Chain A
Amino acid sequence: MNPAQPYLFLAAALFIIGMAGALARRNAILALVGIELMLNAANLSFVAFWRHGPHPDPQTGLMFALFSIAIAGAEAAVGLALIIALFRHRRSVSLEAAESLKG
């Protein structure tokens, strides 16, 4: 068995849990948490492929994971700012409060 396999199964499971959360949760903050979980699943899979793959380019996978952690931080900042802006208008962070646009 490829030693990377358990990590990849874990990454796939995290990704699916995150996606289910992002799609099904009605609370904007929990949807954001789901997205972060998806990004972290991708990081885990990068590191697993880097550690157990043939890795001809020594640090590529690790670098990718580091950069995407930084991106996740920036994304959370913008996301929380938008959630606060929504809260100021609707007094709620529920996504059900945000459905005036349709069609």
Chain B
Amino acid sequence: MAMNYLDLARLAAAEILLVVTALVVLSVDLGLRQCDDLARRTRWAVALGVAGCVSAVVILWELVPEGAMPAGMFASDALTRGVKAGVLLLTAGSLLLSRGIRFTPHVGEYVATVILGAVGMLLIVSSENVLILFLALELASLCLYILTGFDKRSAQGTEAALKYFLFGGMAGAVLLFGLSLVYGATGAIEFGKIAQGVAESGVSPVLLMGLVMVMVGLGFKVASAPFHFWAPDAYQAAPTPAAGFIAAGSKVASFFILAKLAESAFGPAMGSSAWGRFAPGWSPVLATMAAMSMVWGNLAALMQTNVKRLLAYSAVAHAGYTLVAIAAGGPEGLSAVTFYAVTYAITTLGAFGVVGLVESATGGAELDHFAGLVKRSPRLAVCLGIFVLSLAGIPPLAGFFGKFYLFLVALDGSVGSLGLLWLVALGAATTCVSFYYYLVLLKKVFVEDAVMPERAAPGTGVESAVVWASTILVVLLGCFPGWILTPLRSALMAVGW
């Protein structure tokens, strides 16, 4: 099992470049600290960070070969490269959204933390070994805790970060204990060997216990009910660009690895969540979490008056829809989950971009701050309208096709014969509930008159550009989903699923 460090350097070139970028950002910021011009330092830090992300995408396509390190410690194939490119572009987007940051003088540290979090997410995506998976998850999570509490002057931000940390630490410990039970039951920590061990020994009580704990630990990361309590607080109190990063980039990586782990490591212990034919395994666990998330997320969102909290509960509901397809299993499930996670992340990033712009113009993100937005800035209102309709699942936007595909896979998946109809029916019913709160937001934006005085907003060209880019992507991916689906499917074929 010899390991060649040159091979590792070539396979992980994008991650290495990002780490170097983080260090460069820190040292350039240190050099510029003398001039004491916050706007200039922010410009430099964000430009360097975005340049690092974009060149990492180029390196991924041009330089990184396909291959894997021994023991599944690092795998690079067409599928992981595509997902990584998505995470990197979302990171670049959230960095651009933070160009106007006023909440901290430590811009260099902020950008470096975002980039290190992105490194953790990339490592999550390419791990095929639960040890590396755990380390990468912790790297990403620790960065996200710090980002949540980055505005040290805000008591609420600190409070949200501490809650996020305490829940996250517990979820991490539950995940670790679950992994130790899986290791005890199968004697392996590689995805492939775990699957072999599970197939040989069958579903023992120890393994089942471990499976449930692993799913709970990962369910926390994707903010599925009943492990979602951190999400509304973190989304509301974190600096808005950081909340966008938590909502977009980290969700893509976590959903992808949850689907991949369930499928490739625990495949033989799937069980069944078909109505009337329940069998123990991970599928019923995920189905339960999916049902709770759809109901709880959508009902709690009805009562929200803060738009960021509303987006958080809508994220819980969307985690539920996504878990439906993971519970259905199979390669089609993975393809649907990846498509949905990516399009959802683009939509949320854009929505947080709009929230950030409204916040800097009116000083808050309550529903009232959005009243009469269409008269103040019609273009921003149209963008927000498109994002919200996509989240609600109105054709021809990306959210509609993604949700349709998820439910189609659930009905047609490896479970077969409409066994998951109960989950899909629940999903459709709760989607109807969700129209209410999405339309309340749209009514505020398009119908009501402004009630909040508006301040002159600082220069916001870059933020608007990110919002526009997301809007265009949401519309185009809804009309032409094949742009993502065709390469995604051929990548899945190439990996051999």
Chain A interface (Cβ within 8 Å of chain B)?
A: 4, 8, 11, 15, 18-19, 22-23, 28, 31-32, 35, 38-39, 41-43, 45-46, 48-50, 53-57, 60-61, 63-64, 67-68, 71, 74-75, 78-79, 82-83, 85-86, 88-90, 95, 98-101, 103
Instruction: Decide if B183 is an interface residue (CB 8 Å cutoff).
Output: yes
CB neighbours (8 Å) of A15 from chain B are 173, 177
A contacts with B: majority SS: helix
A28-B162, A98-B159, A98-B163 known; A49-B180 Cβ under 8 A: yes
Q: State whether A42 touches B169 (Cβ < 8 A).
A: no
Contact partner of B166 (CB less than 8 A), chosen from A31, A42, A90, is A31
Would you give the 0/1 interface string for B305-316, flagging 1 where the beta carbon is closer than 8 Å to chain A?
A: 110010000000
23 contacts between A and B (CB under 8 A): A11-B180, A22-B170, A23-B170, A28-B166, A35-B170, A35-B173, A38-B173, A41-B173, A43-B180, A49-B184, A53-B187, A64-B131, A67-B131, A68-B134, A68-B176, A71-B135, A75-B142, A75-B169, A78-B142, A78-B145, A79-B162, A98-B162, A101-B156
Q: Which A residues touch B161, using CB under 8 A?
A: 82, 85
Alpha-carbon separation in the docked complex, A29 to B181 (Å): 28
Complex contact A86–B184 (CB within 8 A): no
A55 to B186, CA, bound (A): 9
Contacting residue for A38 out of B160, B162, B174, CB 8 A: B174
The interface residues of chain A lying within 8 Å CB-to-CB of B236 are 101
Assess whether B145 is in contact with A82, with CB atoms less than 8 Å apart: yes
A4 shortest CB reach to chain B, Å = 8
Q: A100-B156, A101-B237 are in contact. Are A63 and B172 (CB under 8 A)?
A: no
Is the CB–CB distance between A86 and B162 below 8 Å? yes
A42 is contacted by which of B135, B155, B162, B176 (Cβ under 8 Å)?
B176
Which B residue's beta carbon lies closest to that of A50?
Answer: B183
Known: A38-B177, A103-B309. A55 touches B162 (CB 8 A): no
Verify A67–B135 contact, CB threshold 8 A. yes
Residue in A22, A45, A78, A89 whose beta carbon sits within 8 Å of that of B180 in the complex: A45
- CB B238 to nearest CB in A, in angstroms, measures 11
Q: Most chain-B Cβ atoms within 10 A of its Cβ — which of A4, A8, A56, A89?
A: A89
B388 within 8 A of A: no
Any A CB within 8 A of the CB of B149: yes
Query: Does B304 count as interface, using CB distance less than 8 angstroms?
Result: yes
B189 at the interface (CB under 8 A from A): yes
Set of chain A residues within 8 Å of B188, measured between Cβ atoms = 56-57, 60
For A85, give its contact among B152, B169, B170 (CB under 8 Å).
B152
B-side interface residues, number (CB < 8 Å): 43
B170 cross-chain contacts in A, Cβ below 8 A:
19, 22-23, 35, 38
The answer for the CA separation of A75 and B164 in the assembled complex, in Å, is 12
Q: Bound state CA distance, A32 and B184, in angstroms?
A: 27
Contact call B138/A74, Cβ cutoff below 8 A: yes
Say yes or no for B281: interface residue by CB 8 A criterion: no
> 16 new A-B pairs (CB below 8 Å) besides A35-B173, A100-B156?
A22-B166, A23-B170, A35-B166, A35-B169, A39-B172, A41-B173, A41-B177, A49-B183, A67-B134, A68-B134, A75-B169, A75-B172, A82-B162, A85-B152, A101-B163, A101-B237
The answer to whether A45 and B184 touch across the interface, beta carbons within 8 angstroms, is yes
Contact check, A103 vs B304: say whether CB atoms are below 8 A apart.
Answer: yes
Residues of A within 8 A of B152 (CB): 85, 88
Contacts of B135 in A (CB 8 A): 67, 71
B residues 173-203 near A (Cβ < 8 Å) are 173-174, 176-177, 179-181, 183-184, 187-189
Chain A residues near B187: list those with CB within 8 A: 53-57
The residue on B at minimum CB distance from A46 is: B180
- Chain A proximity of B204: nearest CB distance (Å): 13
Bound-state Cα–Cα, A23 to B166, Å? 9
Instruction: With a 10 A CB-CB cut-off, give which of B155, B169, B170, B174 has the most chain A CB atoms.
Output: B169
Given A63-B131, A79-B165, A89-B155, A42 contacting B149 (CB threshold 8 A): no
Q: Inside 8 A of B297's CB, which chain A residues have their CB?
A: none
B166:A32 contact, CB within 8 angstroms: yes
B361 to chain A, nearest CB (A): 24
Chain A residues contacting B172 (CB-CB under 8 Å) are: 39, 71, 75
CB contact list, B388-442 vs A, under 8 A = none
- The answer to whether B138 touches A75 (Cβ under 8 A) is yes
Q: Give every chain A residue within 8 A of B162 (Cβ-Cβ).
A: 28, 79, 82-83, 85-86, 95, 98
The 8 Å CB contact of A82, one of B131, B149, B232, B309, is B149
Q: How far is the CA of A31 from the CA of B169 in the complex (A)?
A: 10
CB contacts (< 8 Å) of B155 on chain A: these are 89-90, 100
Q: Report the Cα distance A4→B159, complex, angstroms.
A: 41
- Does B18 reach chain A (CB closer than 8 Å)? no
Please tell me if the beta carbons of B158 and A45 are within 8 angstroms of each other in the complex. Answer: no
Q: How far is the CB of B211 from chain A (nearest CB, A)?
A: 15
Q: Give chain B nearest CB distance to A16 CB in angstroms.
A: 10
At the interface, yes or no: B303 with Cβ under 8 Å from chain A? yes
By Cβ-Cβ distance, the 9 closest A-B pairs, closest first, are A38-B173, A49-B184, A42-B176, A89-B155, A35-B169, A42-B177, A45-B180, A98-B159, A101-B233
Q: Which residues of B contact A35 (CB under 8 A)?
A: 166, 169-170, 173
Interface centre among B138, B161, B165 (most CB of A within 10 A): B165
**Contact: B158 with A32, CB < 8 Å?**
no
